[in-house]
């Protein structure tokens, strides 16, 4: 069943009180996820936020199905939610059984009855800090109306997160995001070093840093910090002959 614009307007009207801080951010996020799940008529909906290692962790989910997205994407380091987070673009897949963008994740997801996913990145300043996503156990084309609806719910989630981060409300979510934003700054600096020294794209720089972190079994932020520190050291002068 497709999402109609009337459904979107009605749902956003029902959620209007969230914009005025009438409930805790954690409760408001759960309310957004619940409404998204019911409006899309899907098998799962949830909101993931990045942690200090830039892994997407679920902070609100409609049911246990959504945990498969978190677990499988962290295990295989690929998937639609990761792409939406990395590229800061809406990412959709109608049928993972016939889509080969994420071969390891796709096969594992189909095995646990996840076939279609639509993921929208949550913006904060110039970064993405998480995603809002919906999933279906059956293959499903995502309509333009459905994409617009998910973007609208994502914007509402971003507004709530921004108000929380700019205010004085301390919570587990705000602490997680502070760690994610701090590590993201180091990662962006390291990407800049590789772009400048190797002439590669931002995407390639990020993939190289992630591959190094996996190979060395170290945290991504620690690898990036080393890259930045090494780049700031003056080049050794050749000894006089």
Q: b/e for 56-80, b at 16 or more Cβ within 10 A?
A: bebbbbbeebbebbbebbeebbbbb
pLDDT at 102: 96
C-alpha to C-alpha distance for 66 and 46, rounded to whole angstroms: 7
pLDDT of 213 > 60? The answer is yes
pLDDT at 20: 56
Torsion of CA 12, 14, 16, 18, to 10 degrees: -110
More confident: 61 or 171? 61
Three-state secondary structure call for residue 126? coil
CB-side neighbour CA atoms (13 Å) of 5: 2
Over residues 5-27, the mean pLDDT reads: 66
Question: Quick check: 141 and 148 in contact, CB under 8 A?
Answer: no
Domains defined along the chain, listed by start: 5-166 (3.30.450.40), 172-231 (1.10.10.10)
Burial classification of residue 40, based on how many CB atoms lie within 10 Å of its CB (0-12 exposed, 13-18 middle, 19 or more buried) = buried
C-alpha to C-alpha distance for 33 and 51, rounded to whole angstroms: 19
Which of 41-45, 56-60, 99-103 is the most confident on average? 99-103
pLDDT of 178 > 50? The answer is yes
Beta bridge partners of residue 118, listed in sequence order:
92, 134
Question: Quick check: 44 and 62 in contact, CB under 8 A?
Answer: yes
Residue 152 CA to its chain's centroid (Å): 16
Query: For 12, which DSSP code?
Result: H
């Amino acid at each position: 069943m497709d999402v109609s614009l009337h459904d979107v307007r009605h749902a956003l009207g029902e959620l209007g009180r969230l914009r005025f801080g009438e409930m805790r951010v954690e409760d408001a996020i759960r309310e957004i996820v619940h409404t998204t799940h019911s409006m899309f008529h899907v098998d799962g909906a949830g909101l993931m936020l990045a942690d200090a290692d830039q892994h997407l962790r679920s902070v609100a989910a409609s049911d246990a199905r959504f945990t498969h997205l978190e677990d499988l994407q962290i295990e295989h380091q690929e998937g639609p939610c990761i792409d939406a987070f990395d590229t800061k673009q809406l990412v959709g897949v109608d049928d993972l059984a016939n889509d080969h963008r994420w071969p390891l994740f796709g096969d594992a997801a189909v095995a646990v009855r996840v076939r279609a996913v639509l993921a929208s990145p949550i913006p904060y300043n110039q970064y993405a800090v998480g995603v809002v996503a919906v999933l279906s156990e059956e293959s499903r084309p995502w309509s333009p109306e459905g994409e617009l609806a998910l973007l609208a719910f994502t914007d509402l989630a971003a507004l709530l997160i921004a108000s929380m981060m700019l205010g004085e409300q301390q919570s587990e979510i705000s602490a997680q995001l502070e760690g994610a934003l701090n590590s993201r700054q180091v990662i962006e600096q390291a990407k800049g070093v590789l772009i400048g020294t190797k002439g590669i794209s931002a995407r390639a720089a990020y993939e190289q840093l992630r591959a190094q972190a996996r190979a060395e079994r170290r945290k991504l932020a620690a690898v990036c910090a080393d890259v930045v520190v090494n780049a700031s050291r003056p080049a050794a002068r050749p000894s006089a002959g």
